[in-house]
Amino acid sequence: MSKLIDGKAFADRLCDKLADEVASLKQDKQLSPCIAVVLVGEDPASATYVGAKVRRCAQLGIDSRSHHLDDTTSEAELLSLIDDLNNDPEVHGILVQLPVPKQINSDAVINAISPDKDVDGFHISNVGALSVGQNNMVPCTPLGSLMLLQDELGDLSGKNAVVVGRSNIVGKPMAALLLQQSCTVTIAHSRTQDLPEVCRGADILVAAVGIPHFIQGDWIKPGATVIDVGINRIYDEALEKNRLVGDVDFDAAKEVAGAITPVPGGVGPMTIACLMYNTVRAAKNQAGIA
């Protein structure tokens, strides 16, 4: 049986440290980290995510400003709001919850946010900085995944890592972070030939394809560390209700892997915790605090 990597416990520990740091910044530096969260439309999942982020801010003492725009909002109106937030010195981080309605170009929105306030780490300048190993804002889910790997394995240097999925949000930045840790990295995807065999060569296997139970147990190298980024809602006939599952066939994988993240309770909590981490970091950067 593999060891379960408890992302919720790690996220709680990280947030406890951040709460102490926020309190210190307020008292010693008169600096109050602040994030503006923008939600466009009425997507239920997006509203749930935004609510969870705002609640976590309150727990840590981070100021949050919520901007809820209706689903008929134009791209120009949204860009105007972002420009106002970019120029507001009291706002240190800006997050526009994706997806946005179809009349709005998400790339234009992402790249309208000041790179210094881009706590999602999606701006093209931050993406470029990550690719060449410079100090920058790192996307939250890959950053959280890396933290879990380092906590579990320590030094990652020399390990074979396979990232299944090549999205701009998870797959590509995850690969860049692993390269920075001196892993030998393979990015696999839907057109990879003999994908199961590629996965079997991984000391570290990161699943980020968005397909329930896509990675099978016999694709996993015995003793490998598995990070399951997937969050998929499926109907469970036995339970007669929906439940969340990952991209990995967990029941089969846990018999083979050395350590594995569960879904839920693995990478998910780390994503919000790292958003808080990025917000505090952005506030310190903008205030000139090391």
The catalytic residues are: 53, 97, 120
Q: Which residues make Cβ contacts (< 8 Å) with residue 214, sequence separation at least 6?
A: 164, 207, 230, 247, 248
Q: Which residues make Cβ contacts (< 8 Å) with residue 194, sequence separation at least 6?
A: none
* Residue 236, φ and ψ in degrees, nearest 5: -100, 110
Does the annotation place 165 within a ligand binding site? yes
Pairwise CA distance, residues 85 & 137, whole Å? 18
Does the annotation place 51 within a ligand binding site? no
Does the annotation place 13 within a ligand binding site? no
DSSP label at residue 169: T
Helices 171-180 and 124-131: crossing angle in degrees, nearest 10, is 40
Does the annotation place 167 within a ligand binding site? yes
* Residue 6, φ and ψ in degrees, nearest 5: -85, 95
Pairwise CA distance, residues 270 & 206, whole Å? 15
Q: Which of 175, 172, 214 lies closest to 196, judged by CA?
A: 214
- 3-state SS class at 106: helix
Binding residue positions for NADP(+)? 165-167, 231
Binding residue positions? 165-167, 231
